[in-house]
Amino acid sequence: MFISIIIPTYNEEEHISNLIQHLQKTSYQNYEIIISDAGSTDATKQKVENHEAIFLLSSEKGRAKQMNFAASKAKGDILYFVHADTLPPLSFAEDILEAIKEGYDIGCYRFKFNSNKIMLKVNSYFTRFDRLMFRGGDQSLFISKKLFQELNGYCEQHKVMEDYDIIIRARKKYAFKIIPNDVLVSARKYDYNSYLKVNITNFITFMMYFAKVDHDKILKFYRSMLNHEKSVLKY
């Protein structure tokens, strides 16, 4: 089966080369890497062009829109969505194909941070449990193209938590696989904010989402609460 790896980006020059080079270490041959960019103002495009990857410029900004756009151009039987600051296991293709063989058309990994801080290890531990609050786009998401099309892709009205939405909709009819292996996630958010502040912000954002608060208000709250890298737009 052919796998299309889709990476939404905006000003990710510091991470994108490392991710592409990492993915290309896989022994699996039937794949493509698609970068769906939102008009980066840094050297993201130039970095991508130095590698065997497809660069697409999305007409609209926002992860849901960028990922849908890339999915419409993808050749894969399986779509694998990965954030630019995440490194999947090199066995990702074999892991995903095994899950598909077992009858799972959608799923993700657990994750661990690229940090030895105890509290971040605690956060990582809980991602092995099958509870929605322990999911997130950082864990990467695989989904068969057939199911993705059946669900009409990501909901483009979602400016935040688009990953939760598609998982909720998929799980109404299909089983969800948590692959018992870890993606490596950047702890950069915790470099700019305290552990307590990040987790309180994440919890309130989660509750606002399920209380059906307007997405613009959720996004405004999230951005106002946390400090971010100046070069990176947080969707």
DSSP 167-232: HHHHHTTS--EEEEEEEEE--HHHHHS-HHHHHHHHHHHHHHHHTT--HHHHHHHHHHHS---TT-
- Report yes or no on 221 lying in a domain: no
How many Å apart are CA 138 and CA 31, to the nearest integer? Answer: 21
What are the pLDDT tens digits along the chain (235 aa)?
A: 999 999 999 999 999 999 999 999 999 999 999 999 999 999 999 999 999 999 999 988 899 999 999 999 999 999 999 999 999 999 999 999 999 999 999 999 999 998 888 989 998 888 999 988 788 878 999 999 999 999 999 999 888 889 999 999 999 999 999 999 999 998 878 888 899 999 899 899 989 988 989 989 998 998 889 876 544 444 4
Radius of gyration of the chain (CA): 17
- Report yes or no on 205 lying in a domain: no
- Report yes or no on 22 lying in a domain: yes
For residue 48, give the nearest of 23, 79, 74, 73 by alpha carbon.
23
Q: Which CATH number covers residue 40?
A: 3.90.550.10
- Strand 31-37, strand 3-9: pairing: parallel
- Report yes or no on 117 lying in a domain: yes
Give the chain's domain count: 1
Q: What is the pTM of this model?
A: 0.90
For residue 33, give its domain range.
Answer: 3-187
pLDDT at residue 228, as a whole number = 66
Residue 98, H or E segment: helix 92-101
